[in-house]
Amino acid sequence: MSAPNQYNQHIIEQFRANGGKTDYSGPLVLITTTGAKSGQPRTTPVAYTRDGDQLVIIASAGGAPTHPDWYFNLVARPMVTVELGTETFRARATVVEGAERDRLYAQHARVLGFADYREQTTRRIPVITLTRLDQSR
């Protein structure tokens, strides 16, 4: 298992054992996507911000030259499971484009300090909104 995968597994275990609290310095959500090729569930910790009722995540991969695997999974199968604190719910993932993408990226980067990721890669970093399917809480 690679170091990033070991780190992610550690964060996932911490998150689930501590009601969403981890060693990570920012707000995290766990998303479970369905593998685009494998069809298997894949859980990934992702930093998030809020925009109204939606959660906003970015497929930054820390400024890596390629999109993270979870991005391809949610593009292929946009229905995801979200773990937020002690709550679990289904959501629809939507890749945001245009001016709305730029607004949400700027907001996310400002709140979480991700602005430099844009400078580390030539790819356009995708912005995704997660819209809860069951609005009753």
What value does the mean pLDDT take over residues 69-87? 96
Residue with the bigger pLDDT between 29 and 3: it is 29
Rg (CA), the chain: 14
What value does the mean pLDDT take over residues 107-123? 77
The contacts found for 84-92 with CB under 8 angstroms, 24 or more apart, are 84/20, 84/29, 84/55, 85/19, 85/20, 86/19, 86/20, 87/137, 89/132, 89/133, 89/134, 90/132, 90/133, 90/134, 91/55, 91/130, 91/131, 91/132, 91/133, 92/130, 92/131, 92/133
- For all residues of the chain together, what is the average pLDDT? 90
Which domains, from first to last, does the chain contain? 3-132 (2.30.110.10)
Residue type, 124: R
Structure tokens at 87: 């709550």
What value does the mean pLDDT take over residues 90-116? 91
